[in-house]
Structure 1
Amino acid sequence: MYSSNFQPEASLRWKRVQSVLQSINADAVLLNTNANLYYSSGRIFNGYTYIPSEGEAIYFVRRPIGLKGENVHYIHKPEQIPALLTEIGLPLPRKLAIEWDASHGDFTRLCAVFPDAEITNGSAVMRKVRSVKTDYELGLLHESAVKHAEVYHRIESVYHNGMTDIELQIEIERLLRLHGNLGLFRINGQSMEIFMGNVICGDNADTPTPYDFAMGGAGLSCSIPVGCNGSLIRPGMAVMVDMCGNFTGYMTDMTRVYSVGELPDLAHRAHQCSIDIHRAVSQMGKPSVKAADLYNLAISIAKEAGLENYFMGHTQKAGFIGHGVGIEVNEAPVLAPRSKDILEGNQVIALEPKFVIPHVGAVGIEDTYMVTPEGMKAITNAPVEIVSLS
């Protein structure tokens, strides 16, 4: 199923899952979404991972053909799983965690496969486990962050006068791919869609979107109404670049702002306020701190600066200032006013306090941080000032 080098990492991950299962008195978790299959096995496959509360994970594979290993069992349908568990010598679960974030059809089918089991929320189990990264995962995130920053250092070189936002985004996408970006922006939730990230300029930044992103944009089609809309980049516009850093299967998130010509003082004040929020939140963001307290700190700084009306949107506001990242770009914890999350060491968080200035565009930065006992340490590093493209 995976290389021998990944075995110690896989075992560590199983043990983390098992610790949570034991805390809720569940006998096993059954996984079938791509993100959790990847987490539990180190690769994507079509099928299921079954992790009992003790022992090794079992992989029930439909495709691709040719995967090998002591714990790999090929199946045609999930209804075969109970008989195979019995054949292996494992008892059928009395309490089974199944992913509630899977499709309704998958969820109800898997419930029917285990009709005598009490069903509990497997998505919550995995969200908790995956929020704290292993050393191996942190290494992949650091690698992604370095490459991500390298691309941002080159954005000025691909801009030329007369560009539209989509033309600039295409050039940035090309840079990302040439640097090894995998091109996939993996998001939790079936109602969240975007391609590689977001470049928005001018008034388009103030266009509401149905998606739960920090910034909006009309998009190029009503089929994906978010992001660049073909606007010509003109003097006096802020150009916000928020592109995905998926170089390793683990995603970093970073936003920087560019301009053509001079921006008004209000935009510069708001941008500096974003930087100030980063400094304050990153200093406070230590293990055991409530995520909601970090949100409230950011709000208080924006209010004190007189910029509350522009914070996290203008016409439509986002209800958070940051989120966990990893295999997916929207993991736990969430920095929001009603969040119940409490920070833990080795969580990785994208912090994005942003402002939308009418007729100018979006300003503010986003960086990816690791939570440590000394505070949140940025792993994405590029100049934070507004960069002139002209």
Structure 2
Amino acid sequence: MYTEQFLPEIELRKSKIQESLRMTKADAILINDNANLFYTSGRVFSGYTYVSARGEIYFFVRRPVGLKGDNVIYIRKPEDIPSEMQKHGIPLPEKLLLEDDSLTYNERLRLSAIFPNAAISNGTPLIRNVRTLKTPYELKLIRESGTKHAMMYHRIPMTYKEGMSDTEFSIELERLARLHGSLGIFRIFGSSMEIYMGSLIAGDNADVPSPYDFAMGGAGNSTSLPVGSSGMLIRPGMTVMVDMGGNFTGYMSDMTRVFSLGEIPELALNAHQVALNIEKTIAGKAKPGVAAKDLYNLAVEMAEQAGLSEYFMGHRQQAGFIGHGIGIEINERPVLAPRSKDILQENMVFALEPKFVIPHVGAVGVENTFIVTRNGVEKVTNCTEEIVSLD
């Protein structure tokens, strides 16, 4: 299932899950969400990971064929799991957790019927909480992703050609990302958001409300995916905000930079500087023990003091956060929002994105990925944060 070198990492993740299972007095969790399969096995497969509160971790695999390992057990259907457990001496659970937040109703019914004598509860919060604190290996992959992400962003100005539409520019940047090693997938928890490899938003398209909780949405090219570039021509006096996800290692980094064509108004330039000031101030305050909501409130206060509240995190429609956790998925904990209960802890990873939307100009601001360290935060997406001219 995984290489010998990866075994210590799997054991570490298993121990974290098992500790949480024992704290909740659950016997086991059965996992089949792709992000959590990847977390528990180091790869995506069709099947299930079974983690008990004590003992081994088992992989019940349907596809692909050929996976090997002492704990790999092939099944035709999930109904085979109990008999295979008995065959391998694995006790049947009395209290079992399932991923209720990602299972369909029918999948939930089917898995519950397989374990008729078990009390079933929702295990999604448990596994997401475990994933919040990254291991040293995960942090290494996030740093690698951030480095490749920044290398790709350095080439953005050279990719622009006069007369491009925002969609044409976006396509070229998607290609650029793939050439730098992007896996081309943007994993999101839940079904409330859809996006491709990220978004590129120019001019007034930044002020088009989105059905999603984004600072700026964009109309998109179809009502079936109403977000991002809309096909508009990039004209002088506009800003172009590039917010491409950086999945280069299976672990995401998130970064936004702003570009401009021609001269842009002083209001936009000032708002961008305020965004940089907010980022610097929050990065200086963020450390273990700090409440995420306090960082959000600080950002809102700074935007208000600058007289820019009406443009902060959107104009016609404003987002309700300034940062979000990141890892295998783009929307993990912690969340920097007014009602967040998250408290920063060492080895959390979050993207911080103070942004403004200036009508008739576009979006300005910045986004970077930070790792929470013992004494503060480490920025892993390092490249120019000033507005870069495309001229």
- Asked if these proteins are the same fold (TM beyond 0.5), I'd say yes
Q: Which residue matches 1:95?
A: 95
Q: Which residue matches 2:261?
A: 260
Question: Could you tell me the percent identity over the aligned residues?
Answer: 61
| 3-state SS of 1:363 partner | strand
Q: Which residue matches 1:60?
A: 60
CA distance in 1, matches of 2:284, 2:197: 30
| 3-state SS of 1:6 partner | helix
Q: Which residue matches 2:360?
A: 359
Question: Counterparts in 2 of 1:175-186, with a 5 A limit?
Answer: 175-186=176-187
1:224-283 C-alpha deviation (Å, 9 max, x unpaired): 000000011011101000001111111100000000011111111111111111111111
CA distance in 1, matches of 2:310, 2:10: 47
CA distance in 2, matches of 1:149, 1:296: 29
> Any conservation in 2 of the 1:283–1:374 contact (CA below 8 Å)?
no
CA distance in 2, matches of 1:293, 1:109: 43
CA distance in 2, matches of 1:120, 1:333: 23
| Greater Cα shift, 320-329 or 107-116 | 107-116
Q: Which residue matches 1:158?
A: 159
Q: Which residue matches 1:236?
A: 237
Q: Which residue matches 1:9?
A: 9
Q: Which amino acid aligns with 1:80?
A: D
| 3-state SS of 2:335 partner | strand
| 3-state SS of 1:51 partner | strand
Q: Which residue matches 1:277?
A: 278
Q: Which amino acid aligns with 2:31?
A: L
CA distance in 2, matches of 1:88, 1:25: 23
Report the count of equivalent residues.
Answer: 390
| 3-state SS of 1:279 partner | helix
Question: Counterparts in 2 of 1:72-83, with a 5 A limit?
Answer: 72-83=72-83
CA distance in 2, matches of 1:121, 1:297: 35
| 3-state SS of 2:196 partner | coil
Q: Which amino acid aligns with 2:22?
A: Q
Q: Which residue matches 2:18?
A: 18
CA distance in 2, matches of 1:319, 1:196: 22
CA distance in 2, matches of 1:215, 1:104: 33
Q: Which residue matches 1:374?
A: 375
Q: Which residue matches 1:205?
A: 206
| 3-state SS of 1:73 partner | strand
After TM superposition, give the deviation of residue 78 of structure 1 in Å. 1.1
CA distance in 2, matches of 1:180, 1:104: 37
CA distance in 1, matches of 2:233, 2:385: 24
CA distance in 1, matches of 2:286, 2:100: 30
CA distance in 2, matches of 1:259, 1:248: 30
| 3-state SS of 1:218 partner | coil
| 3-state SS of 1:91 partner | coil
1:106-135 C-alpha deviation (Å, 9 max, x unpaired): 222212222222222211011111111111
> Any conservation in 2 of the 1:11–1:56 contact (CA below 8 Å)?
no
5+ residue gaps, structure 2, are: none
Say yes or no: does 1:144 pair with 2:154.
Answer: no
CA distance in 2, matches of 1:382, 1:107: 45
CA distance in 2, matches of 1:300, 1:47: 48
Q: Structure 1's 213 and 115: CA in aligned 2 closer, same or farther, altered over 3 A?
A: farther
Q: Which residue matches 1:32?
A: 32
Kindly report structure 1 stretches of 4+ aligned residues shifted beyond 3 Å. Answer: none
Cα RMSD, aligned residues only? 1.0
CA distance in 2, matches of 1:351, 1:230: 28
Say yes or no: does 1:311 pair with 2:309.
Answer: no
1:1-31 C-alpha deviation (Å, 9 max, x unpaired): 1111110000000001111111111111110
1:120-155 C-alpha deviation (Å, 9 max, x unpaired): 221101111111111111111111111100011110
| Greater Cα shift, 186-195 or 225-234 | 186-195
Q: Which residue matches 1:43?
A: 43
Q: Which amino acid aligns with 1:229?
A: S
CA distance in 1, matches of 2:75, 2:192: 30
1:285-313 C-alpha deviation (Å, 9 max, x unpaired): 11121111111111111111111111111
| 3-state SS of 2:366 partner | coil
| 3-state SS of 2:256 partner | strand
CA distance in 1, matches of 2:199, 2:152: 15
After TM superposition, give the deviation of residue 104 of structure 1 in Å. 2.4
> Any conservation in 2 of the 1:31–1:49 contact (CA below 8 Å)?
yes
5+ residue gaps, structure 1, are: none
Q: Which amino acid aligns with 1:348?
A: V
| 3-state SS of 1:124 partner | helix
1:320-371 C-alpha deviation (Å, 9 max, x unpaired): 1111111111111111111111111011101111111111111100000000
CA distance in 1, matches of 2:346, 2:148: 24
After TM superposition, give the deviation of residue 163 of structure 1 in Å. 0.8
Q: Structure 1's 337 and 71: CA in aligned 2 closer, same or farther, altered over 3 A?
A: same
| Greater Cα shift, 38-47 or 116-125 | 116-125
Q: Which amino acid aligns with 1:51?
A: V
Q: Which residue matches 2:293?
A: 292
TM-score (norm 1): 0.98
